[in-house]
A and B are shown apart, each in its own frame.
Chain A
């Protein structure tokens, strides 16, 4: 019964998003769309994640990220994680390389459909399989596929990926559903206009080892400044019953700046 109630609620939320979205954005704060960044562009990102550990300790995670649009189909991210989420003292946790290849792009005047595949390799001090909902950010490798569909300015995105840690002791299937809504401006007139976007993302993970299923929701508000800078505020919290989590919810601040045609 609970399962059906939860499912109906999710369907309702998804439908609401589709109905109310006049304009939609696909610059998702908690996932990547199938679209790529502009060729020869460089982006820098800084993520600051705050959460409360299960034993009431404050957990902090800092994540600087460098992004590079190699060409119209390929992009590459290199990032580093520092924090005290997986150890008692604040220290470097891991490094990661992410690459995405857009292999299908069908554009029409009022719609587009894009598909991309991606891979992430993460290495560092933490190779334990954590059930915490930090999708794709654990030590190991992830490969997956992302599909983004835009019809009459309603954009939805779905991500499916498989993660395995280095010593093959843990694996999971990750899935993300994302939707975004442009709150302001109602009409675009210039690049300097402040854009305010609302996002709703559903992040899920099915553990292959113990078959546990974890589902989080991640609503977010995003500000776009001068059409090159981004500020994202994300609140991520669990909606599925689970044990063995490092934390139940987190607040995330992401700052991003893009250098278009940087070289």
Chain B
């Protein structure tokens, strides 16, 4: 089962290669530049030339990266990083920073219709095991509900809680505890 999932994931990334620059966060910037070029009415030839040069230079920046990524095997590194959405201690409401992460996940998800994800809920180890499983569940559900509110079909997202059972780190400090208080996203299809 695990092998099949891995092959499907690899296929997604390989197939996505061709238009992958569409998936990078860079894309909004590029669009704005193009818009600027479009909106500048032809007043002075110089200014037009300046704008064209700007667009060109932007393209120059992007193009080499694009070429490099086509050549390199992208199998190991996902092109879009599914970051963890983090939570406060003993809380499962979506913070502002988590909202930003969920927003970018939502738009990526929206553009990749063939993908399903699993949302894992996790906690730091300071509470008790059973309560932390329930807390992790609330975090996964909260992330899922937020993505649903952004228009993602519920059937594309499953949830599971691991409570404090699968920590990302084990140091006893606030840094590590915060890293563990997370909704973690895994591509499943």
Indicate, yes or no, whether A interacts with B: no
Interface residues of B (CB under 8 A from A): none
